[in-house]
Amino acid sequence: MQYVATNDTKNVNKLRLITLHPDDVVATGIRLYIYTDILSSGGWLDYGELGVGNTQLYISATFYGPTSGLMVFRVPISAVNVVGSYTYWQTNANDGAVAQGSRLAQNPGADAFWAGHSDLGKAIRVFKWSESSTSYAWIDVSIDHWPTDISNNSANNIIGATRRRTNEAWFAWNAGSGGGFANPHVQIVQVDVGSFPSLPKPKQWQIWNPSFAFAFPNFYTSRECGDVGLAIAFGGGTLNPSGALGVVTSEGILTQTVYYPELSNTCEERFGDYLGVRSENGVNYEGFVYALESTPSGPPLRSPRYVEFGRG
């Protein structure tokens, strides 16, 4: 998926969904592809995310405008490979106001989930959209209190999300220091969604360190093993911000220390928007992180790293 702006007008922007075949890339490079433009007026769409279900492709993006909120678009997978028109469905930005800046859960299967903070520090709102339905629903679920004292509440967006089992969804977000945590850290809840909309209080745990901060988690579930691949940012104290990768077990415990392919030797004001992790074969993971390298003059160089990893 590619986020682009239109050239013909300043009042319309678009989210572009591109479909291409690996064989075509090998033969000719990225020259043959099919695309769909999702247009927006009166605002713009940002922070796009894709989730592949059983028969549907889900796209989430936050609409920033007079009424801002997360929107989810649903496209039949069978349609994206065909030249011509097709019907897709979308949610209302007003409904997603509490989930502004959040992301769709990966591994949706037959049911897509996403979430937002309905009562910051006390409750989250869990949304569900089944492939068998053209409508979606939501319910609030209470969680344990967590430190919300950070400089910008929008940094609490639920950006790490995945389905781990048919009846379980994980949601994660950045949290501040306090409440026994010396540094900003990541909060995670494991929600039993099997009885939706009746949701029990979820298991809640954290990724933290007494010497530096963690932030910007990104999850993806292993189809075969049931564990969860993790991409995450860390920094603070004596460390510049850098990206790292790791694996989380089905019990919600890091199986080992997260590993970084490169440490940043400088910093900049903004870091971590698009760390990512996926699994092509359902067993091991492909991670996407980056570090910052200083330059003689001007802004830092962003040094991306593609890493294949697993539990070993």
Q: Under a CB-based contact definition with an 8 Å cutoff, are residues 217 and 208 in contact? A: no
- The pLDDT confidence band at residue 312, using thresholds 50, 70 and 90, is low
Q: Rounded distance, CA 34 to CA 31, Å?
A: 10
Averaged pLDDT for residues 284-311: 93
Averaged pLDDT for residues 272-286: 89
What local confidence, expressed as pLDDT, does residue 6 receive? Answer: 52
Using one digit for the tens of pLDDT, what is the confidence trace for 46-90?
888 999 999 999 999 999 988 899 999 999 998 887 777 888 999
- The pLDDT confidence band at residue 148, using thresholds 50, 70 and 90, is confident
Is residue 99 classed as helix, strand or coil in its secondary structure? helix
- In which region does residue 67 sit, left (phi positive, over 0), alpha (psi from -120 to 50) or beta (all else)? beta
Whether residue 227 has pLDDT greater than 70: yes
pTM of the model: 0.91
What local confidence, expressed as pLDDT, does residue 249 receive? Answer: 79
Is residue 57 classed as helix, strand or coil in its secondary structure? strand
What local confidence, expressed as pLDDT, does residue 9 receive? Answer: 52
Using one digit for the tens of pLDDT, what is the confidence trace for 242-270?
999 999 876 766 666 789 999 999 998 88
- The pLDDT confidence band at residue 28, using thresholds 50, 70 and 90, is confident
What local confidence, expressed as pLDDT, does residue 29 receive? Answer: 73
| Closest residue by Cα to residue 228 from 153, 306, 161, 136 | 161
Helical spans, DSSP H, in the chain: 22-28
User: Which of 95-99, 111-115, 153-157, 294-298 is least confident?
Assistant: 153-157
Tokens encoding 140: 């609030």
What local confidence, expressed as pLDDT, does residue 242 receive? Answer: 97
Q: Under a CB-based contact definition with an 8 Å cutoff, are residues 15 and 61 in contact? A: yes
Helices (H) and strands (E) counted in the chain, each on its own, are 1, 20
* Mean pLDDT, all residues of the chain: 88
What local confidence, expressed as pLDDT, does residue 33 receive? Answer: 76
Percent of the chain with pLDDT over 70: 91
Averaged pLDDT for residues 122-134: 96
